[in-house]
Structures are given as structure tokens and as C-alpha cells.
Amino acid sequence: MVLAKFANLGVPIVLKDLVNALDVNTVAGTLLVVPISLILGYGLLRLSTSLFTELREALFARVTQHAVRQIALNVFNHLHRLSLNFHLSRQTGGVSRDIERGTRAIQTLVSFSLYSIFPTFFEFALVLGYLAIFYDIWFSVITLVALVLYIIFTVVVTEWRTNLRRTMNQLDTRANQKAIDSLLNFETVKYFGNEAFETRRYDQSMQQYQKAAIISQQSLAALNLGQQIIISIGLVLIVWRAAAGVANGSLTLGDLVLVNTLMIQLYMPLNFLGVVYRELKQSTADIDRMFGLLNEQQEINDSPNASTLVIDDPNRGPSITFDKVCFSYDKQRPILKDISFTIPAGTTTAVVGRSGAGKSTLSRLLFRFYDVSSGRILVDGQDVRQVTQASLRQAIGIVPQDTVLFNDTVGYNIRYGRPEATDADMKAAAKAAQLDAFIESLPQGYETPVGERGLKLSGGEKQRLAIARTLLKNPAILVFDEATSALDSRTERALQTELWKLARNRSTLIIAHRLSTIVHADQILVIDHGELIEHGTHESLLASGGTYAQMWQMQLSEPDHVEIN
């Protein structure tokens, strides 16, 4: 950087000597030798300026790109560490846009500050020093005053424009959220024939963004015009001063050329400095929202002395105890009320109840997506709040009711249960999930893309894929949340046999709607309005004639009832 700026200062000095050497009074021999050497020196200095500048950028590119990568990675990791509550309330389009703009702003901040601001001010110091030493003090004074006025004007106007930029960012994020949300749910849009409605909704957001963008662009034009007025006045005063010196003989024609060239060279980066400052302020506004994501507090943290979960017998599964557990998403609306039960090691416990009774909340608490309001959850006697989240979740496998797949291949989604698994393990899991025949019928087999959120697959195919993924993970604890709800009767019957085989050597929690799928459970819990109202085996609960028995009779009368033996 320093070498580039010294070379840049040398260019007008050599140009001055070149002009003076071409004076008509110069001896012919000197005229031949001197200008040629000065011309060569002029060319070398010009080349050196570019050479040192490009070397600087080439050397520092690694630092800039590493900074961008590191911060983007930090944000990405932080988002994954945030609680389920944050992700349920976020809008994917807005978050992704904030990260995109923020990482781009980091690159702008690093490159502009190091490539533009520091070199420009260093060049200012060189020029002012040179003018003060070799010329009248007024040259330095005029240059300095113009510089100060330029900076003050740029800062004041840019501060005003920053608020406009923040407004543009908010409107841009809002429009992007609507677009992403609409495209992710395009099936629903088509079901209701609301394409025109979605277009109008998106256009309303874009109209607001357009108005803000127009105002911002007009303010930019005013800023540029003001900057050019200040630069032009300073340049006119400097050239007028130099021309007067040439007229009275105190300066040569070369001095006039030097002063003019110096001012042009100085005002070019000065003009760019205005752009740099605007970009830095805009980048600060862009990065604000990304840093806002980094400032989001983790609701669920590992305790400072958290240990790794230890399972006494991995081949049998751990015991799981819910001890007087209370929980609510909203303090005004309790979900679980003093729930207590134990899943003995290697046994299967089923939970049934009406929708909204709190059944799925049990699995979320077991995964520690949330912490209990009171009470505790123990796995082989270890409080889940005292073990690391990574080791806890590694020990649990879940087949959710609503299976969401990555927009990748069938093989990738199965292997996601254990990324380091071999092809043989992956295919064995697919076979156990009754998925192998379907995959073999596909032209691309395991390389078949599943589409956005797995929309190219049917509900049953997605659910079987989720089962294969969990089988491949081979966890000590299994959670089935309506694991076969999307399957036809024949496939469900076959899969239930596989699931029961899988559950024999594991501690299993089944959240069920169809009671026929849980008749073989070691114990069945009936939850109503967040309270445990009944528990026992299928036979004992039927014999008691309570809520479970009533639910059983209601499902027996349903036309799609399937008895699984």
C-alpha cells in the first residue's frame, strides 16, 4: 500500500520535470535524452502503482474471504443452536436474506477499510506534506479546507441516507419473506386458485420497496452533486493559484501541470471515499440484522459442567422417568400438569389422548427442545439438563408424523440418520422400512431427487423414508410420533411388525392416534388436558371401562379401523 502511494505521488513529479524539459530553450541533445528517460520513468511509476495495488489485493484476499466465511459460519452455527421456539416463529425468507446481505457487508467492510480508507488518507498526508514543503502554504490550506468540507458534507448527508437504507432493508426483507413463503406453499396456493392474490400481495410489498428505493436514489444524486461542487471549487482555486504563479514567474509550466495532476489524483480517491463511506454505512445497516441474529439468546444451553449421557446397557436401552413434570409454552396456558411416569429400560410405552392433550410435547421435552417449567426428566438416572444436548439427542431417534425431507436424493435423506454409514447399511435400513422395492422401481434408484421438502414422494413414501433414516441411526431410545399415520393398511401392518422388532431392544415412546397400533405396548398412558388420567396395559385399561375403553369403542366403529395382531 505504501509503495503504491509513493509511486502515485511520483507520477506528477516526473510529469512536471518532463514538461519543464520540453521547454523550447532546452539544448537539442538534452531534449533527446532527458524526455526519453523521464517518459520511461513516468511509465514505470504508472506501472508500479498498479503492480503494488494488485499485489496488495492478491495477498490480502485470503484474509478477506476467511473473515466472510468465518462470520457466515458463526451465524449458521448460532442459528442451529437457538431453541425450537425461535425457529417456529422465524420466517425463513427473511433470515436467509439477512444472512446474505450481512456476509456481503462483511466483505465490503473489510475490503473498503483496508483497500480504500487507509490508503486514501495516507495519500492525503503525502500530498499535503509535499505541497507544504515545496509550494506556497495556500496550496495546502485550500486542499485541506476542501477535504474537510467534503468529509463533513459526506458524513452528514450519508447519516441521513442510512435511515433510508434501513427502511429499504426492512421492506426488501418483508417482500422476500412473502415470496419465499408463497413459493414454499405453492401447492396450497394452487389448491385455492390464489395465484393472482399472491401476486398482488407480493406487488404491494414491492411497490413500497420501490418508493423507498426511488427516494434513496434521488438522495444519492443530491449527495454526488454536492460532492462534485466542493471538489470543483477546490480544484478551480488551486489551478487559479498555480496559473497566477506561472504568470508572475514564481512557478514553471511544469508546476502548473504538477499541481493540477496532484489535485486530480487526490480528488479521484476522495470522490471514491464518498462512495466508500456510503457503502460502509449501508453495510453497517445491512450487517445490523445479521448481528441481531447473533445476539439472539440461546434459551436452551448446556450447563457449565454438563457431562456426556451414559447409558448403562446400550443393547437394552435406558430407563426414562418423567418426575412431576410441568410445562407451558405460554404461562397463561399450561400444557403438562404434574406428569409422572417411568419407561423401564427396554420396554415400550404408548401415549394416547385427544389432540392438544400434550402428547407431542413429551417428545420435545425428552429431546430437550424446551426445558421443563418444574420437575425433571431422567435418562438412566441422569437429569437431561445436566448432560450435553449433543449426547442426549444422539441417543434418541424419532419418526415424526410430519416428515420433512431435504431437497436432495433418496439416499442422502436415508443416510442423514448416520452420514458415515456404508451403502450396505443404508440399503439394509431401506429394506427394513419396506422401502427397497419402491426405490428399485425408480429409474435413478437411491440417486432419485425427492424435491423441495420431499414433495415428489407420497405421504407414505416419506414416512417410510423417515423410518429408514431412524433405523440407520440405530438409537438407544425410539420415539414414534404417529409413525404410520400416512400408510395404507397393508403397509402399516407389515411395518408395525418391523417396528415392534426394532423396539424390543430399546426404550420406546409411541405417540399414537390409532389405538390398534399400540395394543402390544408394555404400558399405555392416557393424557387429557395435560394430566395423566389412566395408565396400564391394553387389557387392563379396557377392563377398567374408563376413557381408554371409550376411545377404543369409538375407533372400533370407524370404517377404516385396522386390527393389528
DSSP string, 349-391: EEEEESTTSSHHHHHHHHTTSS--SEEEEEETTEEGGGB-HHH
**Exposure string (b/e) for 244-257, b if CB count within 10 Å is 16 or more?**
ebbeeeebbebbbb
Rounded mean pLDDT, 487-502? 67
Query: Are 338 and 324 within 8 A, CB to CB?
Result: yes
Q: Where are the domains of the chain?
A: 2-294, 317-395+476-558, 405-474
φ, ψ dihedrals at 8, nearest 5°: -65, -40
Domains 317-395+476-558 and 405-474 share a fold: yes
Percent of the chain with pLDDT over 90: 13
Rounded mean pLDDT, 360-367? 88
The whole-number pLDDT of residue 35 equals: 64
The whole-number pLDDT of residue 87 equals: 63
Lowest mean pLDDT among 79-88, 112-121, 401-410: 79-88
Q: Do the strands 507-511 and 348-353 form a parallel or antiparallel pair, or are they unpaired? A: parallel
The whole-number pLDDT of residue 95 equals: 73
The whole-number pLDDT of residue 146 equals: 85
Long-range CB pairs of 218-227 (<8 Å, 24+ gap) are: 219/157, 219/160, 219/161, 219/164, 220/161, 220/278, 222/157, 223/154, 223/157, 223/158, 223/161, 223/274, 223/278, 224/274, 226/153, 226/157, 227/150, 227/153, 227/154, 227/271, 227/274
Percent of the chain with pLDDT over 70: 88
Longest Cα–Cα distance of the chain, Å, equals: 125
**Which has more confidence, 269 or 31?**
269
pLDDT in tens, 421-459: 899 999 998 888 888 888 989 888 999 988 877 778 887
Grid cell locating 347: 420396554
* Fold classified for 317-395+476-558: Rossmann fold (3.40.50)
**559 has a pLDDT exceeding 60:** no
Burial group, residue 336, by CB count within 10 angstroms (0-12, 13-18, 19+)? buried
How large is the C-alpha radius of gyration of the chain?
36
Lowest mean pLDDT among 20-29, 33-42, 121-130, 260-269: 20-29
Query: Are 100 and 72 within 8 A, CB to CB?
Result: no
CATH class of 405-474: alpha beta
DSSP tag of 323: E
> Using 50, 70 and 90 to split pLDDT, how confident is the model at 289?
confident
Grid cell locating 159: 447519516
> Using 50, 70 and 90 to split pLDDT, how confident is the model at 386?
very high
Type of residue found at 337:
K
375 in the Ramachandran plot: left (φ > 0), alpha (ψ -120 to 50) or beta? Answer: left
| CATH number belonging to the domain at 2-294, selected among 3.40.50.620, 3.30.60.50, 1.20.1560.10, 3.40.630.30 | 1.20.1560.10
d(CA 5, CA 127): 10
The whole-number pLDDT of residue 564 equals: 41
Say what angle helices 28-81 and 92-112 make with each other, to 10 degrees.
150
- 399 DSSP β-pair partners: 480
Mean pLDDT score of the chain: 81
pLDDT in tens, 536-555: 999 999 999 888 998 888 87
Cα–Cα nearest to 223, from 157, 170, 140: 157
Grid cell locating 354: 385427544
Lowest mean pLDDT among 98-102, 351-355, 519-523: 98-102
Q: How many CB atoms lie within 10 A of CB 495?
A: 23
Which residues, in sequence order, are CB contacts of 445 under 8 Å at separation 6+? 410, 411, 439
pLDDT in tens, 177-236: 888 888 878 777 877 788 888 888 888 888 888 888 888 888 888 888 888 888 888 888
d(CA 97, CA 90): 12
> Using 50, 70 and 90 to split pLDDT, how confident is the model at 558?
low
The whole-number pLDDT of residue 563 equals: 45
